């Protein structure tokens, strides 16, 4: 399992983040992102995953994330000027990681190890 800090991700482009995640997951690692991905990055990650699926090598990803949280004053949020604060995301190989339960405070998963 790799835990990736918000600081590391902040220095990467969206494509660099996606490639890093996909490369790690394809080798069987579960990746936990401290700051999560933007909705656009999640969509691109899923699109790239779909193009790289190979039945005998890579079956895809399981991804679970907390929803984005808007920060700023009430007036800033109403005007759409508050910042989007990313939240933790868990990503892993679809054949090894299953989400059991998710709520606003916790993501519970089941991890299968071995082939």
pLDDT along the chain (115 residues), means of 10: 90 94 90 86 89 76 71 59 63 79 73 68
| 52-81 pLDDT tens trace | 877 677 778 888 777 665 555 666 556 655
pLDDT at 81: 57
- Tokens 């969509």, residue? 43
Distance CA 31, CA 78 (A): 34
With CA atoms as reference, report the closest residue to 13 among 44, 57, 34, 47: 44
Residue-number span of the structural domain to which 53 is assigned: 2-111
Q: What total of structural domains would you count in the chain?
A: 1
**Would you tell me how many other CB atoms lie within 10 Å of the CB of residue 115?**
6
> What is the pLDDT, as a whole number, of residue 98?
75
At residue 22, the 3 state secondary structure works out as helix
Tokens of 63: 């991804």
């Amino acid at each position: 399992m790799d835990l990736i800090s918000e600081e590391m991700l902040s220095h990467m482009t969206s494509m660099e983040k996606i490639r890093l995640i996909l490369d790690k997951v394809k080798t069987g690692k579960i990746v936990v992102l401290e700051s999560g991905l933007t909705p656009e990055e999640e969509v691109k990650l899923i699109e790239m995953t779909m193009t790289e699926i190979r039945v005998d090598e890579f079956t895809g990803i399981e991804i679970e994330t907390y929803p984005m949280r808007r920060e700023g004053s009430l007036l800033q949020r109403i005007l759409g000027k508050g910042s989007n604060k990313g939240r933790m995301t868990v990503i892993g190989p679809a054949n090894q990681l299953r989400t059991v339960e998710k709520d606003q405070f916790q993501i519970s998963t089941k991890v299968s190890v071995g082939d």
